[in-house]
Amino acid sequence: MASQDDNDTQPLAIVDSHIHLYAASHIPSLNWTADLPKDHRLNRQNSVDQYRAATAQHSDRLLGFVFLETDRKSGLEETQWTDALEEVEFLLRIARGTPREGEGHRPEDGKLVLGIVPWAPVPAGEKELRNYVQRVRQRAGDEWRLIKGFRYLVQDKPKGVMLDPQFIEGLQWLGSQNLTFDLGVDARSGGLGQLEEACEMMDRIYYALGSSSTVRIIINHFCKPNLRLSPAEALAGHPDFAKWSECIERMACHRHTYMKLSGFFSELPAQEENHPADIGALAARTKPWVDTVFRAFGPSRIMFGSDWPVCNVGGPGIAKSWHHWHDLVDEILRAQSLKRDEKARVWSGTAVAAYNIRL
């Protein structure tokens, strides 16, 4: 039997709470491909085969992943759901171990699928949302247990969508079904108004409706803050940092909200493949934002996510970016002086709890 000391030195298990997957044949159905050059790091197959290669160095620790919808072309009307539902079927084939030729996964990959978070027409209101989710449920069959929640990406949507009564109604219905909602807003590119709107949306759900509001909102990527600021600028009270911090603290006041430690490489200056940024320097550069989130949410509501393959874009290339992000998170947790059980929460435990994952 292993001693307590042995257990304390064992590497902690990892649940990657935020990845995207698609075969090369799916690329035309993605919203963002039209403007990408042919040699762009995202304009290639990024399926489980590629993810396994990217994570190989830590494969003994990786329990699996939670898949997030990959911004397929879609809309609120039923006639616009085809590509989003096809994406669900693709993930179900991975989970069932029934690959189609060229899709980039193998029968044994099913065990890596710990959760699936598809797209859903949340602003369409409860009736249409229920209709869509029923379509997903029919397709999922016995794998419905893997459908943990849904996402409707709001970072590129018009002002006011999160405050529309039908959007609020849709979120409330997800909560009634024990389904999560992943919130993707972009403070740097989309503007601080997005953060304020998201805060107002949460206030309406959790304060106005009280204890009847149980939807778990899982916030992506620290809300994509302006990490182009220097730490000195942030701590000197730069408006971008001040407003972002205020909104983070406001979001954290609601006990059903969680935060993903993910997405930094997209907001930081791009790294060179042959000269990755120093891990210590990256940790120091991001410390004001990290300190704010850990102070507000605590490790029991913060979860590791790689944002693969998007991390390849600002990170040091396809072969190195996942590992580089892992090492940065490792340094962040060390610098936060977390206890072992608190680190375990960030690496896996928070995702397991928030998404109700069965291991």
359 occurs within a structural domain:
no
Q: What is the DSSP letter of 302?
A: E
Looking at residue 207, its pLDDT comes to: 83
CA end-to-end distance (rounded Å), the chain: 22
245 occurs within a structural domain:
yes
Looking at residue 210, its pLDDT comes to: 58
Q: Is the bond preceding 299 in cis, omega lying within 30 degrees of 0? A: no
Looking at residue 7, its pLDDT comes to: 56
Model confidence, pTM? 0.96
Separation between Cα atoms, residue 335 and residue 177, nearest integer Å: 38
* Residue range of the domain that includes 228: 12-354
pLDDT tens, position by position, 126-154 = 999 999 999 999 999 999 999 999 999 99
pLDDT tens, position by position, 217-243 = 999 999 999 999 999 999 999 999 999
Looking at residue 1, its pLDDT comes to: 39
Q: In total, how many domains does the chain have?
A: 1
Work out the number of other CB atoms within 10 angstroms of the CB of residue 143. Answer: 17
Separation between Cα atoms, residue 193 and residue 204, nearest integer Å: 16
What CATH number is attached to the domain comprising 46? 3.20.20.140
Looking at residue 39, its pLDDT comes to: 87
> Rounded to the nearest 5 degrees, what angle is found at the Cα of 147, between the Cα atoms of 145 and 148?
100
6 occurs within a structural domain:
no
Reading the chain (359 residues) residue by residue, the pLDDT tens digits are 343 434 567 899 999 999 999 999 999 999 987 788 888 999 999 999 999 999 999 999 999 999 999 999 999 999 999 999 999 999 999 999 999 999 999 999 999 999 999 999 999 999 999 999 999 999 999 999 999 999 999 999 999 999 999 999 999 999 999 999 999 999 999 999 999 999 999 999 998 765 556 899 999 999 999 999 999 999 999 999 999 999 999 999 999 999 999 999 999 999 999 999 999 999 999 999 999 999 999 999 999 999 999 999 999 999 999 999 999 999 999 999 999 999 999 999 999 999 999 99
134 occurs within a structural domain:
yes
Contact 61, 112 (CB under 8 A): no
Looking at residue 6, its pLDDT comes to: 40
Contact 303, 354 (CB under 8 A): yes
Contact 123, 75 (CB under 8 A): no
5 occurs within a structural domain:
no
User: Taking Cα atoms as reference points, which of 63, 77, 68, 71 lies closest to residue 11?
Assistant: 63
User: Taking Cα atoms as reference points, which of 20, 257, 223 lies closest to residue 116?
Assistant: 20
